[in-house]
Amino acid sequence: MKLWQIIVALFGIAISVAATYLVWSKFKVEMEYNYNGLLLLIFQHIYYMVETILLLLIIIFGQKALEIWTKKRNVPWGGIICGVTWGIAHVISRGEVDIQLGLFATVSGFLFGAAYLLANRDFKKSWLILYLMFAF
């Protein structure tokens, strides 16, 4: 990654953490620690690591499929697919309609797809960036 890509990735992580703070009025780690304790916090982050892989797989395969179909490589297709599917799922994930959570998940998915392209489609770098954006 070039320096500008690293700076933009760090900026994206900062925006994601700030957005999470604005939505929940606390940092995600702080809230989970206070609610669950240290042991469950550790297992929660192991879960986040695995979920990040699943999100990244949606992004990678969505990106590849739509690049083939549209012949356009620089559009974050994977992020669009991830955002739409993840956003729709989060609208009803709590047993009630939660439009704000769905929109937050949709925008996050779009940003995750952009981060994948920003990391030059590198799985390991993308995973780290997405994990930091998602878990914190």
| Average pLDDT of span 62-79 | 95
Going by the DSSP 8-state scheme, the letter that residue 53 receives in this structure is: H
Which pLDDT tens digit goes with each residue over 3-50? 999 999 999 999 999 988 988 888 988 888 888 889 999 999 999 999
More confidently predicted of 123 and 31: 123
Q: How many residues are there in the chain? A: 136
Global pTM exceeds 0.85 = yes
Both structure tokens of 123 = 């799985």
The mean pLDDT value of the chain amounts to 91
In this structure, what are the phi and psi dihedrals at residue 72, rounded to the nearest 5 degrees?
-115, 115
Minimum mean pLDDT range among 25-29, 47-51, 74-78, 79-83: 25-29
Residue 118 CA to residue 15 CA, distance in Å, equals 15
C-beta atoms surrounding 92 within 10 Å:
12
Half-sphere exposure of 70 (CA within 13 A, CB side): 13
Question: Would you report the helix, strand and coil content of the chain in percent, each value rounded to 5?
Answer: 80, 0, 20
Output the pLDDT for position 20: 86
Output the pLDDT for position 10: 95
Going by the DSSP 8-state scheme, the letter that residue 28 receives in this structure is: H
